Chain A
């Protein structure tokens, strides 16, 4: 029986460069903290088992599923979410643009997680092979695209970056 009253903790979490100080119930998952406490609803909740990847964010430089981490564990962490991807002027980043150009999104629900996974992949492997791309996003489920155009978008951005020599943003 788990009727333990929620214990509240104070946390300070930096999300996309802004530090938020909040009191949260100790059992709050990071994904719910982002969505409900911070109203950053771009990070989505798609399963309760850590499989679908729609809640994927980057925490302290690591690609994680935010339903698999408690908000209290993120105390002091630097989190990157989809809301931080666009350019400061609001225009799409090259990665976002590549997704749009290749029609790598349909319903758009898995897209934030997939973009974070893609960003992480390209930061660690700027010129991935198709197989490396597929392995890099295998933790993110998409039911609309058959992954074809997602893989192409990542291939395109990798090729673009290689040509221009700039870092993937």
Chain B
């Protein structure tokens, strides 16, 4: 495998691999972070958004005349004016999804509860809110469609009449020979329906921005917390009719995103229009209720007609299923989720024959967007449910079935049926470690002794991958016209005028510790202490380097971000060595770097500090040794080794690294109430070579915490009219400290042979707690009457229902003795 560490380091200290104190902590612990809502501009005005109370309604009229006269009102923007000022946002999908028109404010009708309808700019947010109360909107409510399967029925209400259908995208993924598998299988397990529910990560910092327009240059500056700014620019530039380089994004500290802050371009467009109209800096900070109503939800997915050919020993040969993905009212980042799941087609298993008939639809619900584990966790949850249901129905041990089917370490790198290349990993070992952490035999015993006590113990496994560093070429499987492929991040590492090492990256960290890990990498290459490296954090496309992929999403920083930092630091090192060799009249091979100085090895008195080198280049260049062309200002773009996927066959390597997450959970269910308590929990991860083990472990904890929340407490539930019933933290029960156990963790390091440093992207997790808790609940049901866990969301009432209604839950689940084709 390739290795990170430069061979010619002058110091034996290696900062990478150590859990050094985070550079970010000091300011954050003192309340000195700079988050988007902390930004103030002179003479700023405030945006208040009046949102739709209906899931689906025609707007008959909007009367703002009284509100216009209210105190402090500066400007009121409605959809009627937006339709003139803005072109509909670009759509990623070809038709029919590509025909769906998306504006920053509702034009003509509202498509979901919480859609912004009127934007009020006022001297204060409170005055804007007061004025909103004076706006009269006449709505004509329309029937709503709130379920993915219902959206496909003939006569279903159309969310976008202009598209003529609720289908955003449809495609059939077919690899191997599923019919052949079914014909030769000993048994065929059929499951009529599995449902992955809608939830979201609710970063504690809501969306926010201060937006300023400069008429002299036609430039807009967005001090904001968008986490993929050039993606936003790609939508906003054409919508506003301006070149994208007039859109200047600045991010600093960001209070969590988990993918949810990628699609904020809709709101940034409202602010941009208001900033230009008013000539004032415009400030917008989202309320929590608005964030949950109209921010970004996770994809809801219904799987139907699942057919699983299996051998008698539990070997799974393949899976055939239909998937209906509910994107909410507007596609936005979608339909990328309709292909992104295929990064992990067989999850961690060896089966080769797969057919998924995938349809994505719009409904009258909040638009979805990337959400931790994005699109892969839905698919891997289905696969994990299949494994547990197969084990139960065939009377096999779920642990044994997993081991029977896991891809083995000696098969690495392993090419999946659709051409993804799993880089490294040891799934059986991770599973063994997880089982050891929970003391599996002990719980199997306790399970027996608990019988008859009214408490049922269940043990469950969640095996997942966290695929990272996207090959954006996979977007072409959705739309062959899209000019995207590969990935990349860029970094600049330089000496400043006084010899300080300064690093910039195009990323938008939200707690992942980029300042720290970038400093570790640079320190190893330049022979410094991380305290001697200054990392300027955040994206700033007017001042700093960036690529079109820049941002922080999709488990990739350790590969793309640190790959770029490594390349730039190595370039700077070469320049420093060249310059020092010239100044010290030594051979380049004799120069070593330590503690901010370059010196001749063995003759340490022959040395020059970085400040001396910087002085020569920046302020004293008549003394430059002849023949040198150095800038001490080095930029490097890391580009992963990708090819454009085969669009016809839907085949290719879709991500560069595949981290492993194997979780084991022990739950106890109270038979009288259905209440589920987690008794023990273990998470074993393999993220390749670890740059900062503590940061990696912290993200494992975080992903597990959110996953446990989603499995047991958190759901975005709509009624049939499209009313969101869980629109704030009263209804949406974000997990608290008393809901999450003190989980146990362990890690192994299977270095990636493909990444520049052996590391793998991580952080999203694969939704392992959803899989592990459903698996444990299945283990509970197995001991009672064999009810089938068919939903990813299992609050007490559902668990109670399952205990009482095993037969109903089993409807549509069958085992056929031999395969007779589909």
Contacts and interface: CB of A to CB of B under 8 A. Distances in A.
Given A42-B31, A103-B22, A25 B126 contact: yes
Interface in B1-53: 19, 21-22, 24-26, 28-33, 35, 37-38, 40
A148 B701 contact: yes
A18 interface: no
Contacts of A147: 705, 736-737, 740
A85 B27 CA distance: 12
B704 A146 contact: yes
B203 interface: yes
Contacts of B511: 105-108, 144
B30 A146 contact: no
B201 A143 contact: yes
Given A135-B738, A141-B729, A107 B510 contact: yes
B31 A82 contact: yes
B31 A112 contact: yes
A67 to B, nearest CB: 10
Interface string A81-98: 111011000001000100
A143 B29 contact: no
Contacts of A3: 70-71, 130, 133-134
A134 interface: yes
Contacts of B704: 146
Interface of A is mostly: loop
A33 to B, nearest CB: 13
Max chain B C-beta neighbours (<10 A), residue from A52, A106, A140, A147? A106
B323 to A, nearest CB: 28
Interface stretch (B167-175, B361-369, B692-700): B692-700
Contact of B742 (A83, A96, A151): A151
B-side interface size class: 35 or more
Interface in A89-137: 92, 96, 99-101, 103, 105-112, 115, 130-131, 133-135, 137
Interface in A22-42: 25, 27, 35, 39-42
Contacts of B124: 25
A142 B698 CA distance: 12
Nearest to B125: A32
Interface of B is mostly: loop
B133 A44 contact: no
Contacts of B698: 103, 106, 144-145, 149
A136 to B, nearest CB: 8
Max chain A C-beta neighbours (<10 A), residue from B31, B206, B513, B736? B31
A131 B736 CA distance: 12
Contact of A45 (B30, B133, B285, B697): B285
Contact of B205 (A35, A107, A131): A107
B258 interface: yes
Contact of A46 (B206, B254, B703): B206
Interface of A: 1-3, 5-6, 25, 27, 35, 39-49, 51-52, 54, 81-83, 85-86, 92, 96, 99-101, 103, 105-112, 115, 130-131, 133-135, 137-151
Which 4 pairs between the two chains have the least Cβ-Cβ distance?
A: A42-B31, A146-B705, A109-B255, A108-B28
27 contacts: A27-B126, A35-B37, A42-B31, A42-B32, A42-B33, A44-B37, A44-B204, A45-B37, A46-B288, A47-B729, A48-B288, A48-B728, A49-B288, A83-B30, A85-B30, A100-B29, A103-B19, A103-B697, A105-B28, A106-B699, A107-B253, A109-B33, A110-B204, A134-B736, A134-B737, A143-B702, A147-B740
